[in-house]
Amino acid sequence: GQNIDQPTEMTATEGAIVQINCTYQTSGFNGLFWYQQHAGEAPTFLSYNVLDGLEEKGRFSSFLSRSKGYSYLLLKELQMKDSASYLCAVRDDGNAGNMLTFGGGTRLMVKP
Amino acid sequence: DAGVTQSPTHLIKTRGQQVTLRCSPKSGHDTVSWYQQALGQGPQFIFQYYEEEERQRGNFPDRFSGHQFPNYSSELNVNALLLGDSALYLCASSRRQDPRPYNYGYTFGSGTRLTVV
């Protein structure tokens, strides 16, 4: 079976740094994705990791440790518009089927 | 370049009724996946269509069925609606054989908000 865990809610202050963790246990692994979803809107792609290490993209970074089944999303210089849900998803299909399994999402509240 | 479009955006149905949701994938994409997202939860995989066939299916009852057309668009049908079917239904498209690993993710539509009363 597939199990992806992330905290339900987090609160942080504007301008600060926040780390959102994700742990996974899946029958296969072929990449981990982070998506951002504002209330009532479609999820939008943030980052992709398939090898261990850190991927940096502007204010957002994502880290992966395959041996630990662990990833985190790091958001720097938080802005009010970063208030959203952040979804961790694992691609567990080794073929080209491209099926993603999502965690429950972490709702981030950025306060002034 | 149009993204993924879903219709309708909102829908209210009565228990026991049937509903059909529609999705047009992003241009160049050939695979459509459907997800159910309850309020405050992550998306749950319903099924995926490629070449007009259901390729993978999540843990959803047979009341949930789908179709993919030759132009890659797709429909999700739900029969005998239950109150628990109330959710945001997301359509996601992708290209099955994409050489760029970043694009092995999805492009999502804005969803159809289904309310069953």
pLDDT of A98 reads 67
| A28 in reach of chain B (CB within 8 A) | no
Tens digits of residue pLDDT in B42-58: 999 999 999 999 998 99
Residues of chain A positioned with their CB less than 8 A from the CB of B43: 43, 87, 102
- Given the DSSP bridges, would you call strands A32-37 and A84-91 parallel, antiparallel or unpaired? antiparallel
Q: pLDDT-based confidence at A2, cuts 50/70/90?
A: confident
Q: pLDDT-based confidence at B106, cuts 50/70/90?
A: confident
Tell me whether residues B106 and A45 touch, CB distance under 8 A.
yes
When comparing pLDDT for B100 and B24, which is higher?
A: B24
- Cβ atoms of A112 and A14 within 8 Å: the answer is yes
| A16 in reach of chain B (CB within 8 A) | no
Q: What is the mean pLDDT of chain B?
A: 92
Q: Does residue B95 register a pLDDT over 90?
A: no
pLDDT of B74 reads 98
Tens digits of residue pLDDT in A23-74: 999 878 888 999 999 988 889 999 999 899 999 989 999 999 999 999 999 9
Q: What is the mean pLDDT of residues A2-17?
A: 95
Candidates B46, B16, B25, B43; CA nearest to B34 is B46
**Angle at CA of residue A25, ends A21 and A31, nearest 5°:** 75
% residues pLDDT > 90 (chain A): 76
Residues of chain A positioned with their CB less than 8 A from the CB of B97: 96
Distance CA A99, CA A69 (A): 18
pLDDT of B76 reads 98
Q: Does residue A91 register a pLDDT over 80?
A: yes
Interface with A, mutate which of B56, B89, B103, B104 (most A CBs under 10 A) = B104
pLDDT of B96 reads 78
**Angle at CA of residue A64, ends A92 and A102, nearest 5°:** 40
Tell me whether residues A99 and B56 touch, CB distance under 8 A.
yes
Tell me whether residues B35 and A102 touch, CB distance under 8 A.
yes
